[in-house]
Amino acid sequence: MGGQPMFILSEDAERTRGEDAQSSNIQAGKAVAETVRTTLGPRGMDKMLVSDSGDVVITNDGATILEKMDIEHPAAQMIVEVASTQEEEVGDGTTTASVLAGQLLAQAEDLLDDDVHPTTIVEGYHAASQLALDAIDDLVLDEELDDDLLQSVAASSMTGKGTGDINAGALAETVVAAVRHAETGDGIARNDIALRTQTGAGASATELVEGVITEEEPAHAAMPRSVEAANVAVLDLDLDLQEANIDAEYNVTDVSQLEQALDAEEEELAGYADTLVDAGVDVAFVTGDIADRVASVLGKEDVLAVESVSDDDASAIARATGSTTVGSLQDLESADLGHADSIHVESYGGDDLTFVEGGENAETVTLFVRGGTEHVADELERALNDALDVVIAALTEGGVVPGAGATEIAIADAVRSGATSVEGRKQLAVEAFADAVDVLPRTLAENTGLDPIDALVDLRNRHDSEGVAGLISEGQSGNVGDPVDAGVLDPAAVKREAAESATEAATMIARIDDVISSS
Ligand code: ADP
Ligand code: MG
């Protein structure tokens, strides 16, 4: 059968092989990591991202930047995945993880140039990553995770983020209060803590609400805007005539028949309202529509009803008030009703928000995030989300480690010492991993306006003499010192996840020697 060429790919398929493939993947991965590098740390800068449609997002958050950048290159996409996995798993450290992944690639490139085989690099990186994880475990502080310490963790995750007219310290107090509120004997359910942003006031007006806030308003002007000690129904239905009824044709031969038909509809609608009143409902949250007729009867009966409630809000309200969501009005029983101490509607500019406070399930809380403009409120929301995640990670996933680059300095040191016991060329890869980790303290120094080489030397010297050394940034400058004393602390889980996911992405990219893209 010789002689005939065999085609296994379609004519338009593109293929890059060997060193070309490797080099192009590595360049792409490095380039992505490079874009977020300047945002690292408290003195990191923000990025302004403009979408096709002109929407603007201003942020310092690594995961958000990479997600909005709409990156197409498949290898670069893997760095974006590092950030998004980091965000999902621990909620912070996205810049750290992607910058580390990029630097691991840069080091791998040098090793490949020196003819170190990709699988040797992969094995060396995995061995180094294990040394790094052990080093992180050794760094975990054995202090009790009290509120003061947790506030430091929350503040460390927010410093450098645009938090408007409020400082990270004050916000940290609110964040820790929210987590403590949601804490039960069984742990902390992250969905017990909601965030709701509303513009029209400075960020310092941000507050903790012990309950749920929904964006909807009363369905009728005659309804009460405030109800105390409320029996609450959550209804996943429309309080309106069925479609079939509305479209039904009436065979009308005289006016009295038409009136009869309309009366029957009126009666049916009024019946809906009566069902709620008879069941003892004071406040109803309805996911569907409420017909005007129903709303006006409810209003007369002093029932507050809110329509078009989102599914998320409805389930949060059901959870907070201890009510059972009912899908059909016939099924409504008084046992389905929940309870809230206070339900009230507040106006913010043109928007009405309904607050459900003091529910039966007192764990549910909402951080009511305020900002002068939407951009400020949105970035503040991202910062608070990170802060909530780090406090929860510290409490539930193995404590905290010194921040400000101190953990990275210690990791690099431990990996370098560990490298001596690794045989052959693999040792070069383990050492390269340690050099890659240095990019993090080096970048913190650069972003603080310090000379990165001098800073690294100072940090290592102090690490050798004191056992811990970070580059603490205060105001306009940075000093080498003890991050624990300065209250700069990160969850151990953030560092672990960053080491693991950066290693995984870098080794995966380094292994590829053939890129086949079908068009
Ligand atoms: P990431 O997306 O990786 O969380 P950040 O921009 O939030 O990136 O920066 C996190 C780093 O900043 C952590 O290493 C943390 O320890 C450090 N950091 C936080 N506060 C300070 C501070 N006051 N001085 C120095 N470093 C700090
Ligand atoms: Mg952070």
Query: What's the pLDDT score for residue 13?
Result: 73
Residue 406, C-beta contacts closer than 8 angstroms, at least 6 positions apart: 139, 459, 463, 468, 469, 470, 482, 483
Contacts of 117-123 with C-beta under 8 Å, sequence gap 24+, read 117/425, 118/22, 118/510, 118/511, 118/513, 119/511, 120/424, 120/425, 120/426, 120/429, 121/429, 121/432, 121/507, 121/510, 122/507, 122/510, 122/511, 123/426, 123/429
CATH fold for domain 15-141+402-518: GROEL; domain 1 (1.10.560)
Task: Decide if 240 contacts 291 (C-beta within 8 A).
Answer: yes
Query: Tell me, what DSSP letter sits at residue 46?
Result: P
Task: Decide if 192 contacts 400 (C-beta within 8 A).
Answer: no
Model-level pTM?
A: 0.80
Pocket test of ligand 1: the residue of 39, 40, 80 to mutate, having most ligand atoms within 8 Å of its CB, is: 40
Active site residue 35: no
State which ligand 1 atom lies nearest to the alpha carbon of 408: 14
Task: Decide if 52 contacts 484 (C-beta within 8 A).
Answer: no
β-bridge pairing 56-59 and 47-50: antiparallel
Enter the tokens of residue 183: 């804490």
SS (H, E, C) 4-30: CCCCCCCCCCEEEEHHHHHHHHHHHHH
State which ligand 1 atom lies nearest to the alpha carbon of 157: 7
Phi first, then psi, for residue 493 (nearest 5°) are -60, -35
Give CA–CA dist 280/90, Å, rounded.
Answer: 44
β-bridge pairing 365-371 and 193-199: parallel
CA-based max dimension of the chain: 101
- How far away, in angstroms, is 40 Cα from ligand 1 center? 7
Spell out, as residue ranges, where the chain has pLDDT lower than 70.
1-2, 7, 162-165, 243-252, 362, 514, 519
Query: For the segment 256-277, what is each residue's pLDDT rounded down to a tens digit?
Result: 777 887 788 888 888 888 999 9
Q: Taking the CA of residue 468 as centre, how many other CA atoms within 13 Å lie in the half-sphere pointing to its CB?
A: 20
Give CA–CA dist 26/31, Å, rounded.
Answer: 8
Residues of the chain by 3-state class (helix, strand, coil), percent to 5 = 50, 20, 30
Tell me the ligand closest to 153's alpha carbon.
Answer: 1
Task: Decide if 306 contacts 219 (C-beta within 8 A).
Answer: yes
Alpha carbon of residue 404 to chain centroid: 22
Return the bridge partners of 369, or none. Answer: 197
Task: Decide if 78 contacts 89 (C-beta within 8 A).
Answer: no
State which ligand 1 atom lies nearest to the alpha carbon of 405: 14
Asked whether 41 lines ligand 1 (CB < 6 A), one says yes
First to last CA, the chain: 30
Query: Tell me, what DSSP letter sits at residue 241?
Result: -
Homologous superfamily in CATH for domain 211-361: GroEL (3.50.7.10)
Give CA–CA dist 325/444, Å, rounded.
Answer: 50
SS (H, E, C) 473-491: EECCEEEEECHHHHCCEEE
Task: Decide if 108 contacts 121 (C-beta within 8 A).
Answer: yes
Ligand 1 atom 19: the closest Cα is on which residue? 156
Residue 350, C-beta contacts closer than 8 angstroms, at least 6 positions apart: none
Query: What's the pLDDT score for residue 250?
Result: 60
Q: Which one of the listed residues 95, 163, 206, 443 is annotated catalytic?
A: 95
Give CA–CA dist 489/491, Å, rounded.
Answer: 7
Asked whether 98 lines ligand 1 (CB < 6 A), one says no
Domain ranges of the chain: 15-141+402-518, 211-361
Active site residue 197: no
Query: What's the pLDDT score for residue 249?
Result: 61
Query: What's the pLDDT score for residue 163?
Result: 66
Active site residue 386: yes
Closest CA to 127 of 499, 441, 397, 442: 499
Give CA–CA dist 343/356, Å, rounded.
Answer: 5
Query: For the segment 123-132, what is each residue's pLDDT rounded down to a tens digit?
Result: 999 999 999 9
Q: Do domains 15-141+402-518 and 211-361 have the same CATH topology?
A: no
Q: Which residues surround ligand 2, an ion (CB under 5 A)?
A: 92, 157
Enter the tokens of residue 439: 């990019």
Q: Which one of the listed residues 61, 378, 438, 490 is annotated catalytic?
A: 61
Instruction: Name the amino acid, one letter, at 226.
Output: S
